[in-house]
Structure 1
Amino acid sequence: MSNPSNLKYTASHEWVKSEADGTISIGITQHAQELLGDMVFVETPAVGRKLKAGEEVAVVESVKAAADVYAPVSGEVTAVNSELDSAPETINADPYAAWMFRMKPDNAADVAALMDAAAYQAIVDSEAH
């Protein structure tokens, strides 16, 4: 699966989708879920929590390991995907549809400055060698 070109990415393997209402949705990439394996638990942040870019904000646990999920930009959490509480494996089935949380960024320019799909793929490729 390739990385969708309509999304932005972080070096820590989060994807970011800009929504029509000015919020962004965040999840983990295909590469991240492949490394982790079958998801068994997802811990999401509290709605209303203020985040700083790079802050640990959520946790995904798989049969292999637990991994932190980081805030791609600074802002406030506006929603969480509660479906992941009972079905964390949704991330394995379709990581780009299984958003973990949404946030209102403090600065939209910070979102625009994140990596595009090609830049993210270069990071994935460099990790493989």
Structure 2
Amino acid sequence: MARLQPDDVACWVVKTARPAEATVPGWRPGQAATVSRCLRRSYRLALMRPGAPCLLWRSGPDRPGVHALGELAGEVGEDAGGPVVAVRLTLLAAPVPRAELLADPVARDAEVLRMPAGSNPSYLTPAQYAAVLGSLH
């Protein structure tokens, strides 16, 4: 696959297997929270810019899908475990289920759906991001 270019990425995708209440204690729908997410070292990190759209994808068997929307809240940094980025996310009242996105002719080709075991960050193209936004409940 060719390397991503800035125009290929409409939204960054960061993943978690944890439920929202474990990610941010007391997190409620409609409430924004800033969290730090671990990233895999790759050329993609140089494409990430503060303010860029971002979403939180919950992976695994329990309610997989889009659980929060927001933006990158800072530059990619480093901690003891490697690259990290702060994201400011607003928890959705109702997640966008993985099954719903798999049924969408545009969204179903998203990297996070084709390669669910992939590492952070993943991304959505402009058309895929529009499909996700159109699926908000």
TM-score higher than 0.5: no
